[in-house]
Amino acid sequence: MANCIPHLITGDFDSLDFSLQEFYRKKGSQIIHTPDQNETDFTKSLRESTNFLREKNISADSFLIVCRNGGRMDHILSNLNTLYLAKNITCLPVFLFSGDSIIWLLDEGQHKIHVPPSVHHLHCGLIPLGEPCHHVTTTGLKWNLRNDRLNFGGLICTSNTFSGLEVVTVETERKLLWTMGTEE
Ligand SMILES: Cc1ncc(C[n+]2csc(CCOP(=O)(O)OP(=O)(O)O)c2C)c(N)n1
Ligand SMILES: O=c1ccn([C@@H]2O[C@H](COP(=O)(O)O)[C@@H](O)[C@H]2O)c(=O)[nH]1
């Protein structure tokens, strides 16, 4: 890690040691303090990173966010909320990677998800966070949905897995979180 110097360090810094901040500043990291307490560090850092890429003229395909799951349910839920907020911050896709899962937000419409055979035995799911999804249809899952309704308090799709096809298709008329296991 000694050679890994972040281009940008940003946040409210309530959990960042000042000496560590100074260490990285001297190594060349740009430091942006965002004290606003009406948005989470993740949401703000997505905005700062988007500005950073634009100012430095750096092109990127996506954001891969590596987050800890330290047991704080409010952190987990606010991280998922940031996936919904991301559309207003960046046009790049945002993938949230945590532990052995990756999760991202599917927009309304049809989706094809390419699934490498090495993860066919792992878990996947479709989570209707925030609002019911009245019509969801899938192919490529062990337990497929056929114009089914997903909602909290009713059916949500967790602990599903793959049928063995290399492509999963999802059709949804509302935004829907897609989660899947990743290789150890
Ligand atoms: C309605 C409402 N609830 C709660 C808050 C408080 N709040 C929301 S985001 C935020 C900042 C969180 O900072 P972050 O470093 O992302 O998380 P932490 O580990 O400090 O909880 C705070 C304090 C608020 N501003 N408004
Ligand atoms: O266990 C965790 C801890 C943190 N996060 C994310 O990081 C930010 C900042 O958290 P701090 O406690 O201020 O360092 C938080 O909003 C989460 O997005 C996390 O996901 N899991």
HEC readout, 33-60: ECCCCCCCHHHHHHHHHHHHHHHCCCCC
pLDDT, residue 28, reads 96
123 φ, ψ to 5°?
-80, 155
Tell me if 134 sits within 8 A of 176, measured CB to CB.
no
In our burial notation (b when 16+ CB lie closer than 10 A, e otherwise), range 12-40 reads ebeeeeeeebeebeeeebeebebeeeebb
pLDDT tens, position by position, 61-71: 999 999 988 88
pLDDT interval class at 183 (50, 70, 90): confident
Instruction: Kindly indicate whether the ipTM for this predicted assembly is greater than 0.95, answering yes or no.
Output: no
18 CA to middle of ligand 2, Å? 17
122 CA to middle of ligand 1, Å? 34
Place of tokens 């905005």: 47
With a pLDDT cut of 90, the percent of the chain lying above it is: 93
At a CB cut-off of 8 Å and minimum separation 6, what does 180 contact?
101, 102, 103, 113, 115, 119, 122, 123, 124, 125
Report the nearest-CA residue for atom 17 of ligand 2: 75
The number of the ligand nearest the C-alpha atom of 17 reads 2
21 CA to middle of ligand 1, Å? 21
162 CA to middle of ligand 1, Å? 37
pLDDT, residue 69, reads 82
Is residue 2's pLDDT more than 80? no
Report the nearest-CA residue for atom 12 of ligand 1: 40
Please work out whether the CB of residue 79 comes within 6 Å of at least one atom of ligand 2: yes
Is residue 106's pLDDT more than 70? yes
Average pLDDT, the chain: 96
41 CA to middle of ligand 1, Å? 8
Tell me if 142 sits within 8 A of 160, measured CB to CB.
yes
pLDDT, residue 1, reads 56
Q: What does the pLDDT average to over 105-121?
A: 97
- Going from the C-alpha of 19 to that of each of 9, 80, 133, the distances in angstroms are 13, 31, 48
- CA 62, CA 21: separation in Å to the nearest integer? 26
Please work out whether the CB of residue 118 comes within 6 Å of at least one atom of ligand 2: no
Amino acid at 57: N
pLDDT tens, position by position, 120-175: 999 999 999 999 999 999 999 999 999 999 999 999 999 999 999 999 999 999 99
Structure tokens, 5: 């110097």
3-state SS class at 21:
helix
Structure tokens, 94: 């945002």
3-state SS class at 86:
helix
The number of the ligand nearest the C-alpha atom of 79 reads 2
Please work out whether the CB of residue 85 comes within 6 Å of at least one atom of ligand 2: no
